[in-house]
Amino acid sequence: MSDASTLGTVLRERRERTRPEQVGVVGHGRRRTGGLRREELAELAGVSTDHLKRMEQGRRHPSPGVLNALARALRMSRAEYEHLCTLAGYAPVEGRVPRRLSDAARRLVDRIEGTPVCVLDATWTVVGWNRAWEALACGVPSLHPREGNIPWRVFVGQGGQVRRSPGDDARFQRLLVAELHAASTRYPEDEDLASLTADLQRASVVFAELWASTPAAGRHDSRMLLQHEDLGQIALDCDTVHIPDGDLRAVVFTADPGPADADTFADGERFGR
């Protein structure tokens, strides 16, 4: 559980106690107090001043990435940062991407049997799945270092069995780039993540252009057509659920409500067992 009011108070008090020179800010003009101005902290953390104001007032809950950025901008100690995470209801973010299933994610995968589910880490690399997903997706990722990474498949791969409408495809591409941007902010010491984004920029002009534009994440749901070698073409809705424990996201695949796709999908679920 989170405590937005207390979290906001802690952020405001820490900002007001932090002298500009402590965080590399050159003061301009006369100050009423010796602490950081709200707009100065916002610029250091890469958020809008209004967004920070709402957080300090307890009217806006920060994402894990924003919380990490604020802690780094304020030069907080590890203990101080962990206290912020406790107030926000998050697990502390480390310098490297967690690449294993958390207990919460493992319980989710184990309990949902008939519906295809896969679990992705912060780089959108598949780290877990259930049998229904394995059958529907025609197998598990290979040992190739990029095979299980969704952005690599989307921007560099040959398309495979998945098709989206042009609008959904564009939105999904922006989402993936925004997610990798956010992950890079949260995990600045992760060499594999830095290598992935560098390789994507070299391999895909579209990715490089989106990376330079730093798009907003937008919505996390999408629709796609999956060409299954045994079941034929299936229309699927894909909903993404964030799992704070381990900074993971679960992607849940459900059939389009149309009777033909629903019937085919039901066959796929039986096929998965």
Q: Where are the beta strands (DSSP E) in the chain?
A: 117-120, 126-129, 162-163, 222-228, 232-243, 248-255
Sign of CA dihedral 210, 215, 220, 224: negative
| pLDDT attached to residue 146 | 81
Q: Can you give the pTM of this predicted structure?
A: 0.61
The length of the chain, given as a count of residues: 273
Per-residue pLDDT of 92-107, as tens digits, reads 766 778 888 877 788 8
The answer to whether residues 249 and 69 touch, using CB atoms and an 8 Å cutoff, is no
| pLDDT attached to residue 266 | 53
* Res 259 pLDDT > 60: no
| pLDDT attached to residue 5 | 86
Query: Any idea which of 17-26, 51-60, 230-239 has the lowest mean pLDDT?
Result: 230-239
Which residues lie below 8 Å from residue 105, measured CB to CB, with a gap of 6+?
119, 128, 243, 245, 246, 248, 250
Q: What is the mean pLDDT of residues 79-87?
A: 85
| pLDDT attached to residue 273 | 40
| pLDDT attached to residue 94 | 65
Phi, psi angle pair for 188, to nearest 5°? -65, -20
* Res 159 pLDDT > 70: no
Integer Cα distance of 112 and 30 in angstroms: 60
Per-residue pLDDT of 21-50, as tens digits, reads 888 787 656 677 778 999 999 988 888 899
* Long-range contacts, stretch 147-151, CB < 8 angstroms, 24+ apart: 149/123, 149/124, 149/125, 149/196, 150/120, 150/124, 150/125, 150/126, 150/176, 151/123, 151/124, 151/176, 151/177, 151/180, 151/196, 151/200, 151/207
Per-residue pLDDT of 163-188, as tens digits, reads 776 777 788 889 899 889 888 877 87
The answer to whether residues 253 and 237 touch, using CB atoms and an 8 Å cutoff, is yes
Integer Cα distance of 92 and 241 in angstroms: 19
Kind plus residue range of the DSSP H or E element containing 41:
helix 38-45
Q: What one-letter code names the amino acid at 98?
A: P
Q: Which is nearest to 215 in space by CA: 248, 263, 182?
A: 182
Q: What one-letter code names the amino acid at 262?
A: A
Q: What is the mean pLDDT of residues 186-210?
A: 91
